[in-house]
Structure 1
Amino acid sequence: MASKVIHALYNDDDLLLQAVKQIREGRYHIGEIYTPFPVHGLDKAMGLATTRIAIASFMYGIVGLGVAVAMMNFIMIEDWPQDIGGKPSFSYIQNMPAFVPIMFELTVFFAAHLMVITFYMRSKLWPFKKAENPDLRTTDDMFLVEIDASHHDVNDLTNFLYDTGAAEINLIEK
């Protein structure tokens, strides 16, 4: 049995937000929404769970701080200690004030780069990946809501979507 998907196109972001709220109140399942730019509040209107990227970023920063401390301790204290300006490098704690900028920079470096890599992996964005955009107008000026219509009457759902302000509705057989 082939599944049916309805693509409802809207031409305004405020109209899209209202439509998403009405679609959720109507107990229809929204598969995906394609927009030409980020729409503030759309994630809450769709009922999506909050992201854990901030927790991952904190953990990546801790990893960066640990790498910075281990690297500076090994390089400046154990491997090649130098007497610079009459200040010998006998312990890491004595020289830590000089290492604070490096610790800060490596913390930010690790957090930023590993967060970007995590985002790409989580979003399944690989190099040379083909775009999965169902309608090219969503990269310009239209907003598309993809709704699973397999378990609903298509005519009722189409009329409901037109009532929410959809400019165009297409039935897609997958």
Structure 2
Amino acid sequence: MSTNKVIHALYNDDDILMDAVKKVKGEHHHIEEVYTPFPVHGLDKALGLAPTRLAITAFLYGITGTSIATWLTWYTMIADWPQDIGGKPSFSWLENMPAFVPILFELTVFFAAHLMVITFYMRSRIWPFKEAENPDPRTTDDHFLMEIPVHNNEEKLTALLETTGAVEIKVVDKH
């Protein structure tokens, strides 16, 4: 198993972290990961991360739910077991569609929500009983950690991070 050195810079304020990320990126260093106790607005742009495509999958999952709901209402109420409910004819799906709107809506939301959760967990590689990858437990409470790989520039990176307002800087071996 190979080990790589990384620098962990710990911050106690999200504004200081954002300034530090911009400064480190401005010096053309690669930031491997940033651990935060809550979402920090604008951090993804500051890190240069690509926009997420999860919204596209949510839309596709919603269309899937609407399609299944359309087929389900047609099959159960028109094809398989047509009934005269409240004097409404059961000869076409379009004539009865206003009565099916709640079913269409609910199955659209059901499919989009449940499949999005599954997609998010798979994309994030969060499996049941998975060990936490958090390098410092304080980042789940009130601290922010920036992880930067060391490539024979440990002194230069440490000096740079000291100017960014880090409360703690450690060089560790990442397994």
Tell me the TM-score range normalised by the shorter chain: over 0.9
Change (3 A) 1:85 1:69: same
Question: What is aligned with 1:12?
Answer: 13
Q: Which residue of 1 aligns with 2:57?
A: 56
User: What is the aligned length?
Assistant: 173
Q: Once superposed, what is the RMSD of the aligned Cα atoms?
A: 1.1
User: Residue 85 of structure 1: CA displacement?
Assistant: 2.3
User: Does residue 157 in structure 1 map to residue 150 in structure 2?
Assistant: no
Post-superposition shift, 1:2?
A: 3.8
2:8 and 2:147 in contact (8 A); partners too: yes
TM-score for the superposition, normalised by structure 2: 0.95
Q: Aligned-pair distance for 1:173?
A: 1.7
How far apart in 1 are the matches of 2:167 and 2:76? 64
Task: Report if the CA contact (8 A) 2:89-2:95 is conserved.
Answer: no
* 3-state DSSP of counterpart to 2:8: strand
1:68 maps to 69
Q: Partner residue of 1:44?
A: 45
Letter in 2 for 1:76: M
For the residue of structure 2 that corresponds to 1:30, the secondary structure is coil
Gaps of 5+ in 1: none
Contact 2:76 2:82 (8 Å CA) reproduced: yes
Structure 1 CA distance, aligned partners of 2:45 and 2:152? 24
Partner of 1:119: 120
Alignment of 1:132-147 (within 5 A): 132-147=133-148
Runs ≥4 residues deviating over 3 A: none
2:158, 2:169 → 1: CA distance?
7
Segments of structure 2 that go 5 or more residues without pairing to the other structure are none
Inter-partner Cα distance in structure 2 for 1:97 and 1:137:
53
Normalising by structure 1, what TM-score? 0.96
Identity %: 66
